[in-house]
Amino acid sequence: MTDAKTHPTTDASLLDDDRVESDYRTVNGVRLHVATAGDPDAPLVVLLHGHPDFWYGWRDQIIPLVETGFRVVVPDQRGCNLSDAPDGIDAYRQLELSADVRELIHSEGRESAHVVGHDFGGFVAWNVALRRPSIVDHLGIFNVPHPTVYRTVLRSSPQQVVRSWYVWFYQVPTLPEWLLSRNDMDNMVASLEITSNPGTFDEETIDRYRAAWRHTGVGPRVNWYRGFRRSESPPRDTVTQPTLICWGEDDIALLPSMAEQSADYCENGRLRMFPKTSHWVHHEREEVTEALLRHLS
């Protein structure tokens, strides 16, 4: 496999599989880098990474999806890795991030797609399904609550307020960017290691993450959280699409009770809880990929 230290572009060649290619799409006024794979005419799946991830976070799911018969498109969301990083906080509101996904689906010549998100990408996926239900066929959510559940629990649970300390910290001007950028972004590396089970991220993988973070810096990623605070709530609460929620019970940032509450907002929802599994549920449990394939098929 390609060494990130000698290949700093962090594009699709990281997978060393010629079925996965890099492309660029201009959508909603920004140029996004996307990894693509699979028959262009096959059912479309869009995979959305979170923080501090990039497209490479879906490396374990891309090929299994292709081999099951799907077309897979995995963007670096705006502000990340090889995609554009517009200035300002408002550029990272949920309305803009979900519009990126909508236009990305249309760039494939499609009216709809299966949409799957992890972490902050899960918030975007929820928002796409709630703001534009007609463009989401099936929804997949990994370790992030329904936005209404998150806001409600934050108002009522001191325990969740403590767990969400970083969200409040990211609202402080300038300081988060300075701390996260120090010592070649060691604090970003720590965020991967602290939130995962031992061995989830090896040294080679961490080198690749560092390379991805260098492209745009950490500022746009912090603005995701600032933009989230400025975002309007979706126009509806109930998700009508078939929805799979996979949740690692040992997530240190999010209460597992929010997974059950989120499923209650889905007309056709299925919840899979994974004990002894961290926030990085799709990296640590092969059963997550298997469950996703069954859900989308």
Contact 44, 70 (CB under 8 A): yes
| Residue 225: active-site member | yes
Nearest Cα to 118, choosing from 202, 61, 156, 166?
61
Given 84, 119, 137, 251, the catalytic residue: 119
User: Is the CB of residue 107 less than 8 Å from the CB of residue 85?
Assistant: no
Side by side, the strands of the sheet bearing 136-142 are: 20-27, 30-37, 71-75, 44-48, 113-118, 136-142, 243-248, 269-274
Residue 251 among the catalytic residues: no
How many Cα atoms occupy the beta-carbon half-sphere of 230 within 13 Å? 15
Q: Which of 150, 209, 225, 265 is catalytic?
A: 225
Q: Which residue out of 279, 282, 283, 295 is catalytically annotated?
A: 279
Phi, psi of 286 (to 5 degrees): -60, -25
Angle at alpha carbon of residue 186, lines to 184 and 188, rounded to 5° = 105
Contact present, 157 and 163 (Cβ < 8 Å): no
The residues that are catalytic are 119, 225, 279
